[in-house]
Structure 1
Amino acid sequence: MKEANGYARLMEERLIYDNPLAKKEDIEGFVLEGKAKISFEDGAMRLKNELDDQMGQRANYVLWCPVDFPENIKITWEFKPVTDQGLCILFFAASGKEGKDLFDPSLSLRTGEYPQYHSGDINGFHVSYFRRKEPDERAFHTCNLRKSRGFHLVAQGADPIPDAADANDFYRISIRKYKDHISFSVNDLTVFAFDDDGSTYGEPLKGGKIGFRQLAPLTADYRNLKVYELD
């Protein structure tokens, strides 16, 4: 970033959370909303829907990390699709309305259905990637950033992750959120960036929780979730 005098200074990153997602014990305390089959193979967490995908939104789910993270962070994880049809999302800076904790019992019950997350009683950002659910998503691959509450599409970029047959390794994914600036990258390639003015799409979002969402019938692997505090 740049100081007021125009000189750049190095952004310091301090690792504050490190989870290999390699075995069942690594997700002890995580909160699953909806139903999913969670297994661990070759040192990675595998997510797959438990309910029939013909049930639509009811077959989808969110897996929350229970930790509250600060405002200025970098989130990194590794992702590999096993099948193609579906969609992945990472929520971040997520909290309940009026500053409540995401799991405050006064908030409405959430069961994995999308409107509960973008137009319910929680706030947050979410990045959707590996979007292969609907025909138009399979025909034209993009990654989207949305801000909620509200279904605000605030940034978009081309998705560089190939279909499962050509994904011969994990892809390194990164989200950086420093004050009002957010960027998203895959294998160090910047896909999009966004500067939030804290007005057009609602008030600024500070710290909060992160969570993985996956749409049926996709099967995908995740590993090496890390969070760094930025200064």
Structure 2
Amino acid sequence: MNDNRFEKGECLYANPLASPQDISNWILEGEAKVGFESNRLHLENELDPEIYGDNSHWVYWCPVSFTDKIMIEWEFSPIREPGLCMIFFAATGRNGEDLFDPSLPARHGQYPEYHSGSINCLHLSYFRHKHADERAFRTCNLRKSYGFHLAAMAADPLPPVEDAISPYHMKLIKYEGIVQFSINELQVLEWEDDGSMYGPVYGGGKIGFRQMAPMKAAYSNLKIYNAIKR
């Protein structure tokens, strides 16, 4: 189903993610291999998950803070699995601080630091092929944190790597309490925060990509627009 309630407004940020210069000011938490092939950003773990476990996962943040009412678009290509891919958005300190305020504890890519630590955020996992049960029944999961609340779940249309015809066009809308997610213009998930069950509705904040090792994926053409409601 396509939902045409939202359209693109002004482009707030555009990054081809095609060269080291494009991410020179991005902020990595944890350890990752960062490279470029065919004008696309390639990301994978630096640490061996068989040795380092959860310490092998990481988060890569765009340094720009965005307002509420935005549309995020990017191209995604799964290259190697098993693994998991996720996007964080509307990320701030729990008291409204900037995500990188020096008063906040340092983060190192471990998931509890993001869902039950010193920050608030929304996080959407859209390629959940890490564990056998996730591969057997594939879903996209939207969570609201602080607190690791499962806000919404929907079927994930993305296939295994061997069947992927990449890139996939990802679109995520955050408009006040509404979160809407589409892949290749197919609406996958929508949720509306009532501002009560899991605390107040979140506004603006920062955006970051997360992968769980040993996932390898490519990203390109990241664009953030004002979202306009028809």
* TM-score strictly above 0.5: yes
Q: Pick one of 29, 39, 43 that aligns with 2:39.
A: 43
- Cα deviation for residue 168 of structure 1 reads 2.5
Aligned residue pairs total 224
Residue 155 of structure 2 corresponds to residue 158 of structure 1: yes
SS at match of 1:82: strand
Corresponding position of 1:34: 30
Q: Structure 1 unaligned runs (5+)? A: 1-7
Q: RMSD value over aligned CA atoms?
A: 1.3
User: What is the CA deviation profile of residues 71-122 of structure 1, one whole-angstrom value per residue up to 9, with x for unaligned ones?
Assistant: 1000010101111200001000000111101001111110000000000010
TM-score by length of 2: 0.95
- Cα deviation for residue 12 of structure 1 reads 4.9
The 5 Å alignment of 1:193-212 reads: 193-212=190-209
Paired with 1:117 and 1:205, the residues of 2 have a C-alpha distance of: 15
User: What is the CA deviation profile of residues 160-217 of structure 1, one whole-angstrom value per residue up to 9, with x for unaligned ones?
Assistant: 1111111122000110111111101100011110010111011110000000000000
Asked whether the 8 Å contact 2:6–2:227 carries over to 1, the reply is: no
Identity over aligned pairs, percent: 53
User: What is the letter of the counterpart of residue 86 of structure 1?
Assistant: G
Asked whether the 8 Å contact 2:8–2:71 carries over to 1, the reply is: no
Residue 132 of structure 2 corresponds to residue 135 of structure 1: yes
The 5 Å alignment of 1:10-159 reads: 11-54=7-50, 55-159=52-156
After TM superposition, which residue ranges in structure 1, 4 or more long, deviate above 4 angstroms? 8-12
Q: Structure 2 unaligned runs (5+)? A: none
SS at match of 2:95: helix
TM-score by length of 1: 0.94
SS at match of 2:18: coil
Paired with 2:142 and 2:165, the residues of 1 have a C-alpha distance of: 26
- Cα deviation for residue 13 of structure 1 reads 1.8
Greater mean alpha carbon deviation, residues 32-41 or residues 178-187: 178-187
Structure 2 CA distance for partners of 1:228 and 1:35, relative to 1, 3 Å: same
More strand by share: 2
Q: Pick one of 185, 193, 197 that aligns with 2:182.
A: 185
Asked whether the 8 Å contact 2:154–2:188 carries over to 1, the reply is: yes
SS at match of 2:129: coil
Paired with 1:162 and 1:12, the residues of 2 have a C-alpha distance of: 28
